[in-house]
């Protein structure tokens, strides 16, 4: 039986575009401040590096769990809810952390929503065996 990951693919594509935008931000700042590796003690570059790194720390596992849920036959509404929540929360987190190294509502909501998405997808995949 051939299965397609159309829904996971859709959200993976959106997240890949966000990742590229975050990557280009880091590259631009590296060029501007002539820093090849590390952050060169530049606060703006350090912040951009952390925004990018945080995205990389959470998105791959989230996409994997979403794809496994889709392969396990999760309902399309569930997959769209999880994918939409993940995209929204990662975007909010990037905006919040980019605009302030302190707290912001975008960073809080983005972090909380990402954790909720991961937890729900993890539980859904665990119970799918029963």
The domain of 15 spans 6-127
Q: What is the pLDDT of residue 57?
A: 97
Closest to 26 in 3D by CA, of 91, 94, 114: 94
Separation between Cα atoms, residue 80 and residue 43, nearest integer Å: 37
Task: Please give the model's pTM, rounded to 2 decimal places.
Answer: 0.91
54 belongs to a structural domain: yes
- Indicate whether 1 pLDDT > 60: no
Closest to 118 in 3D by CA, of 90, 96, 77, 94: 90
52 belongs to a structural domain: yes
Task: Mark 90-120 as b/e (b = at least 16 C-beta within 10 Å).
Answer: bbbbbebbbeeeeebebbeebbebbeebbeb
Residue 116's domain is classified under what CATH number?
Answer: 1.20.120.550
- Indicate whether 89 pLDDT > 90: yes
43 belongs to a structural domain: yes
59 belongs to a structural domain: yes
113 belongs to a structural domain: yes
Looking at residues 83-105, what average pLDDT do you find? Answer: 92
The residue assigned the tokens 């809080």 is 108
1 belongs to a structural domain: no
| Tens digits of residue pLDDT in 36-82 | 898 888 889 999 999 999 999 999 999 999 999 999 999 999 999 99
Q: What is the pLDDT of residue 38?
A: 86
- Indicate whether 2 pLDDT > 70: no
Q: Distance of CA 80 to CAs 9, 31, 76, 95, 115, Å?
A: 11, 38, 6, 22, 17
DSSP designation for 4: -
Looking at residues 102-130, what average pLDDT do you find? Answer: 95
Total domain count, the chain: 1
Q: What is the pLDDT of residue 3?
A: 80
Coil, strand or helix: which one is 102?
coil
């Amino acid at each position: 039986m051939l299965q397609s990951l159309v829904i996971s693919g859709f959200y993976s594509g959106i997240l890949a575009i966000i990742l590229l935008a975050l990557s280009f931000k880091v590259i631009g700042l590296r060029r501007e401040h002539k820093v090849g590796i590390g952050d060169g003690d530049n606060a703006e570059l350090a912040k951009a590096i952390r925004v990018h790194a945080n995205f990389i720390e959470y998105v791959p596992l989230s996409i994997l769990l979403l794809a496994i849920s889709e392969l396990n036959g999760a309902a399309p509404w569930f997959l769209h809810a999880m994918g939409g929540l993940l995209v929204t929360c990662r975007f909010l987190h990037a905006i919040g952390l980019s605009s302030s190294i302190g707290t912001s509502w975008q960073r809080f909501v983005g972090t909380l929503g990402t954790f909720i998405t991961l937890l729900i997808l993890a539980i859904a995949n665990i119970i799918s065996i029963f």
